[in-house]
Each structure stands twice: as structure tokens, then as C-alpha cells.
Amino acid sequence: YGLAVAVAKGLPFLNFPTKQGAVLVLAVEEHKRDVVNRLRDLGATADDPIWLETRWIGRQPDQIQRLREFLGHERIAFVLIDTLASFFEIDDENSNSEMTRHLLPFASLCHETDTVVLFTHHTRKSGGDDLRSIRGAGAVFALVDQALELKKDNDGSATRRVLTIEGRYKAESPGELVLDYKDERYVCLGSREDHARAALLTKVFEALPPDGRMLEVIPLADAAELRQPLTRRLAEELHRQ
């Protein structure tokens, strides 16, 4: 939902730029009031080009064609469908043929237009590696251009999450981003490597004397509990900053 608001306003999302455009939100599991309040809490206003539908529209033979016409008429750039299983009323999530039948028209829709469609979906309770934790048939992962999984970080933080990204455009996007939940929304702390380096810089900074006195590398490394060469590089980076 934060991404939907960012696209509608043309604002960055998780430190990445977005292309401004109209948004359609299909939240078939939610009460309309709750979705409106959520969007408002994220900064949406009545002037933002956000279309919202919370009624279940059911299985209709011309569903994809009607949607295609609406997207074209309203020049929709981004569609959020929450959730995949509820929207399609799927009988068997483990059926590759059923998942393919539902998702393939949407994959074609995205490839033939400038519209991005994002489905929310649940993960398996047993988890999994390399996005294999996506619940149900493997066709879900096979058909989408990009799959994103939000999971708890293993650092023990109650608010920190890791966003894993896999798909056809992997070379153009980060593999992982570390997020933290602050003030009712997620903020990006950078890649796992960025986050780890920031933690090391903080460690060196906190080991510096509070009165601003000069400190040689050896006692600084001892205070920060880091190796001397690494401490020197981190101190030089702090100095440049």
C-alpha cells in the first residue's frame, strides 16, 4: 500500500524513484473503510489518482478484458491486488494448471501495456530458500517477472525485515534490502552489505572519545573490538563523511 501511494504521488519508495501514475487497488479481503484509513495514514489524499475496489467481483469470462479497458481508459500505471488467492477464488493453490490459467492473462497484460500488476500472496508456514517459500504451485514463481518476499531478519530485531527480490530483472535490482518499521511504515536501511557497514561505522564512531580528543588506531581498534586495518579504513570513511 505504501508503494501504491508513492506511485500515485510520484514519490520515492524505499529510497528508489517511482514513475508517477494512476493506481488501482483491488483489496477484496478488506473492508473499504479500513483500506481508506490505511491509504490516508500513508499520506494519500482525495486528490491522488487512486481507484479503490473492495467488492469481490467473482470469476467472470470477460474479467481480464474489462480490466484491460478500464486500465486504458483511466491510464492506470500500477495495480495492487490483495490477495491473489481471494481475487481469483482459487480452488487448489497447488495446481500448476489452475495458477497458470489465472496468472498468464495478467502476465500478458503487463507485457502488452505499461501497467505493473502486483499481487500479494502468502508464504508457506514451513518457509523455504530462494523464494521457494511462496505458498502453492511453483507456477506462481515461474510466471511472474519479479517475486518479492518480506521476512523477519535473523538479527533478533522485532521491527526489522529483509526484502528478498528474485526474477527476470535481477541484474537491475538489489537481491536483498534491509527494512525497519518506523512511524507506521517501512524505511530502507540499504542492502545487507550497506547495513552491515553502517553498523561497523557506528561501532567505530561510538568508540571515539566524546570530548573530541585524537585517538591512535590501536586503542581505537581495541575499544571498537575490531581489527586494526578495518578500523583505520572505517575511521577514514568517517572523517570523509
Question: Cell numbers at residue 183, please?
Answer: 512511524
Q: What is the pLDDT of residue 125?
A: 67
Residues of the chain short of pLDDT 50, as ranges, are none
Question: Cell numbers at residue 239, please?
Answer: 572523517
CA gap 189, 180 in Å, rounded: 7
Q: What is the pLDDT of residue 241?
A: 82
β-strand pairing of 76-82 with 22-27: parallel
Q: What is the pLDDT of residue 171?
A: 76
Q: What is the pLDDT of residue 131?
A: 58
Q: What is the pLDDT of residue 140?
A: 83
Global confidence as pTM? 0.78
CA gap 215, 231 in Å, rounded: 12
Q: What is the pLDDT of residue 129?
A: 59
Q: What is the pLDDT of residue 198?
A: 84
Helix (H) or strand (E) holding 78: strand 76-82
Over residues 71-80, the pLDDT tens digits come to 999 999 999 9
Cis peptide bond upstream of 83, omega within 30: yes
Q: What is the pLDDT of residue 128?
A: 58
Q: What is the pLDDT of residue 92?
A: 84
